[in-house]
Amino acid sequence: MEMRKIYVVHLYVALLFIQKKASDLVKHITIETVQQLYLTTTPKSIGIADLGCSSGPNTLSVIKDIIQAVQRTSLKMLQQARTPEFRVYLNDLPTNDFNSIFKSLPDFSKEFNKDRNGGGCTSSIFIGGYPGSFYGRLFPNSCLHFVYSSYSLHWLSRIPPGLYNEQGKSINRGTVHITKTSPLEVSIAYSKQFKEFGIKLLFYLCSRRQLSLSKKMKKGKKVEFE
């Protein structure tokens, strides 16, 4: 039993490392996009959603990078010490350990309070948990400006029905993913469901019901960064 616990912990740490590495690879894209968003809209309140936020140390690390990117842009390019307030919507399935995230929020807030006391940017940050599948409607009307997701969109909310034969048995025996030995029907089943839910996800996010789009964003003005 003890060896099993050690293995589970080791696997969890390994997964966190992989997720962090993937996030760091596209960090420059995330930061530039957030800066572009802020400069072209300059909203007083920014809504940020993290789809599939999980509950490890990577969760608030990404949010911190996004907030600090806006703060730096406000100081250096707009010469404004007062940045907009941040509304952070953390989303994952109901089984996610949201309590562990909430317990870490006091330390998270202290870091930004240090900047505030040191004469840096002042920001009000509101963070909430939104449990549920991101393949459906999750957020209020016109509340989002930036949607982030890393290592999450490939997860499915249900098993594709095409993975079972008429007797109700799996046609992909011995594995829970697509392998070289998987029948062609397995790939077709996953592809069909991904297209179905992928289009649905994009529809929900891109519709004006959840995203807040200004006239400046629609024009698509591009700002170059040094």
pLDDT band at 16 (very low <50, low <70, confident <90, very high): low
Residue 9: inside a domain? no
Residue 18 inside a domain? The answer is no
Residue 5 included in any domain? no
How many domains would you assign to the chain?
1
| Structural domain span for residue 133 | 27-219
Taking residues 47-68, report their average pLDDT.
88
Does the pLDDT at position 213 exceed 70? Answer: no
Question: Which of 53-62, 71-80, 154-163, 194-203 is the least confident region?
Answer: 194-203
Q: Residue 11 — very low, low, confident or very high, per pLDDT cuts 50/70/90?
A: very low
pLDDT at 87 over 80: yes
pLDDT surpasses 90 at 174: no
d(Cα 210, Cα 18) in Å, to the nearest integer? 30
Classify residue 165: in a domain, yes or no: yes
Q: What is the mean pLDDT of the chain?
A: 77
- 127 inside domain: yes
Q: Rounded to whole angstroms, what are the CA distances from 119 to 112, 116, 137?
A: 11, 5, 40
Q: Domain for residue 158, yes or no? A: yes
Is 80 exceeded by the pLDDT of residue 122?
Answer: no
pLDDT for position 110: 82
pTM of the model: 0.71
Residue 8: is its pLDDT beyond 60?
A: no
Predicted local confidence at residue 6, as pLDDT = 47
Q: What pLDDT score does 155 carry?
A: 67
User: Would you state the pLDDT for residue 166?
Assistant: 85
| Token duo for residue 37 | 């968003």
Is 114 inside any structural domain? yes
Is 189 within a domain?
A: yes
Give the tens place of pLDDT for each residue, 136-166.
788 888 888 998 888 776 666 677 888 888 8
Query: Residue 131: pLDDT above 60?
Result: yes
Which 3-state string (H, E, C) describes 147-158? EECCCCCCCCCC
CB-CB neighbours of 172 under 10 Å: 22
Tell me the CATH number at 63.
Answer: 3.40.50.150
* More confident: 208 or 225: 208
The Cα 11–Cα 7 span in angstroms is 6
Three-state SS for the chain is CHHHHHHHHHHHHHHHHHHHHHHHHCHHHHHHHHHHHHHHHCCCEEEEEEECCCCCCHHHHHHHHHHHHHHHHHHHCCCCCECCEEEEEEEECCCCCHHHHHHHHHHHHHHHHHHHHCCCCECCEEEEEEECCCCCCCCCCCCECEEECCCCCCCCCCCCHHHECCCCCECCCCCCCCCCCCCHHHHHHHHHHHHHHHHHHHHHHHCCCCECCCHHHHHCCCCCCC
